[in-house]
Amino acid sequence: MDHAPEPRAPSRFTRQSKGPHLLVTHTQQRSYLCSVGNSPELPVLKAAMLDFAHPMANAAYTPEAETRPACTNCVPRHPLLVRITHWVFALSFLGLLVSGIAIIRVHPHFYWGEAGNIGTPAFFSLPIRTVTGSMSGRGRHLHFESAWFAILSGLVYAVSGVFSRYFQRQLIPSREQLSWHSVRGCVRDHLTLTRQRSADSYNVLQRLAYLGVVFILFPLTILSGFAMSPSITSVFPSIVIGFGGQQSARTIHFFLSIFLSLFLAAHVLMICLFGFAQRMQSIILGRPSASKDLR
Amino acid sequence: MSQVVTRRKLITSGLAGAAGVAGLAVAARIANTYGLIPPGRGGIWGIGETLTYASQRILMSHHSLAREFSPSETSRFVPVNGPAPKTDPYQRHLFTNFKDWRLIVDGLVARPASFSLAELKRMPASTQITHQACEQGWSFIAQWSGVPLSYVLNLVGISTRARYVVFWPFDDFWNSLDLPDAFHPQTLLAYNLNGNDLSADHGAPLRARVARQLGYKSVKYLTRITVVDDIRKVGDGTGSRTPSAGFSWYAGI
């Protein structure tokens, strides 16, 4: 950070769009993303404490930060609550994935409708050997325990995200971003592996992907899991009826987990491509190291 | 300025943390008093099992009914998971068509009794067409007929101290139910599957049918039912054979 301080008039946001909703106020600048450029000297510990004080608020705000230049390619800055829920969720998702595989290996056949077993035609079968034994029991213990931690941390994240207007500010794309021109440009940038022109904020494809995962894929995965529970469906039969039967729900649950795994793969790939070390610092400590020049 | 805020926040968060720990301890005691902690293993999996069992017992009606189906929806094939016991008492009963077999009902009951198959069949019967899923993932829909467990329990008169009903089969896979599931209207002592007497592989002469839980709670080859107040005094204390095989005691999922 050796350039001279300058008034921070032309924001990176405005380059992308001239829409009034994207004109960045100082308040917005201090939100989740990209606020590292505002306060690079804030000690990590102090920042973490301030985060804890105002988990979803504008934690790193200092008056002098306004005069600092914005970085040209920022790494997101994450409040403590987001960091905690991210890692609890990440571990839980790993547990769900591993235990899901263990459960499937006991009966790698999938059916459509209410009921299905070895004596009825399968919708499809995975080309893997059936494994019997206690793996299924351990797998189920891990699966349901991980599901509890995943749902609880996901709920904390979603509820606090709604109240802090995080989803509204950072994830719901603007009308400008949803325009054909903008979407086409973003797709073209991805296809040609061109560096995003405004990496400070989530681009339209990222926004849609995250919204889809948080508000469609995960709720559907949880519901299709509930649809397999004989006790839950005795209270809410519409859950299992909505999926077209208990075995259909199991099959849909499997496909949803495939989609979520693909999203995870893309998520990790993107982090590796765009600066693994800094983004790991950001999601663990809350901010990337200030000493390094940001890529 | 920011330091003042930080210190205040530190004190409040410290107090909040202490209150949280105290709250957890109180919650654990209350949960234990009201029977919200399931039998079975403690340890690391106890967290998830307790959360599942307690939340379902608190949030859900004790007598919510599992879905019932029409006869046309019954599965053409009813799989068998594990064959009938090859051991002597069971094979002898099978050979004599369960003529001398009796179901013993004992424990914390006012009138301990035993019932022959014919006596059980003369009791008020209940028929259901329900879905049963195995923990492995497969399932079937079948019609079951039998006497509601609640009828038999009321006949012998259970003590006010009773908390669990233990199923003892001819094989090793003993299990137990809490009172909400034992007195659930769809919980049967079933002797009939799809219009026929139970075959040996499906649990002859009598098996439990627990509609709101996975198949392994529907114990086959019943020989004795015991009503107890403390499940830890029964067998290895885990409430069923299944925890040692890796499966949770509560299987409503």
Per the structure, the complete domain to which residue A20 belongs is given by: 12-67
Element (H, E) at B175: strand B175-178
Strand B175-178 to B164-169 pairing: antiparallel
Cis peptide bond N-terminal to B39, omega within 30 = no
Is A232 part of any domain?
A: yes
CB contact under 8 A, B252 and A231: yes
Count of structural domains, chain A: 2
Average the pLDDT over each of A48-62, A197-211, A264-278, B94-108 and give the range with the smallest value: A48-62
Is A73 part of any domain?
A: no
A104 touches chain B (CB under 8 A): yes
Stretch A85-114: mean pLDDT: 95
A208-260 confidence digits (pLDDT tens): 999 999 999 999 999 999 999 999 999 999 999 999 999 999 999 999 999 99
- Contact assessment for residue A226 and residue B56, using Cβ atoms and an 8 Å cutoff: no
How many angstroms away from the CA of B2 is the closest CA of chain A?
A: 8
Q: State yes or no: pLDDT of B186 exceeds 60.
A: yes
CB contact under 8 A, B51 and A230: no
Residues from chain A that touch B78, judged by Cβ atoms under 8 A, are 119
Is B122 part of any domain?
A: yes
CATH code at position B111: 3.90.420.10
Write down the residue that tokens 């914390």 correspond to: B108
B142-181 confidence digits (pLDDT tens): 999 999 999 999 999 999 999 999 999 999 899 999 999 9
Count of structural domains, chain B: 1
Categorize the per-residue pLDDT at A197 as very low, low, confident or very high, splitting at 50, 70 and 90: low
CB contact under 8 A, B60 and A228: no
Rounded to two decimals, what is the model's pTM?
0.81
Chain B residue with minimal CA distance to A61? Answer: B2
Per the structure, the complete domain to which residue B85 belongs is given by: 66-245
Chain A residue with minimal CA distance to B9? Answer: A53
Tell me the ipTM for this assembly: 0.89
Chain A residue with minimal CA distance to B66? Answer: A234
Categorize the per-residue pLDDT at A44 as very low, low, confident or very high, splitting at 50, 70 and 90: very low
**Do A84 and A219 belong to one domain?**
yes
Write down the residue that tokens 């403690």 correspond to: B42
Nearest to A190 by CA among A177, A211, A204, A169: A204
**Do A42 and A161 belong to one domain?**
no
Is A183 part of any domain?
A: yes
CB contact under 8 A, B137 and A250: yes
How many angstroms away from the CA of B248 is the closest CA of chain A?
A: 7
Best to test chain B binding among A84, A117, A226, A252 (most B CBs inside 10 Å) = A117
Instruction: Dihedral sign for Cα A147, B46, B81, B114, please.
Output: negative
CB contact under 8 A, B138 and A109: yes
CATH code at position A256: 1.20.950.20
How many angstroms away from the CA of A189 is the closest CA of chain B?
A: 43
- Contact assessment for residue A161 and residue A150, using Cβ atoms and an 8 Å cutoff: no
**Do A222 and A253 belong to one domain?**
yes
Is A179 part of any domain?
A: yes
Residues from chain B that touch A224, judged by Cβ atoms under 8 A, are none
**Do A145 and A198 belong to one domain?**
yes
Beta bridge partners of A124: A110
Residues from chain B that touch A134, judged by Cβ atoms under 8 A, are 245-246
Q: What is the dihedral of CA B52, B58, B61, B62, to 10 degrees?
A: 80
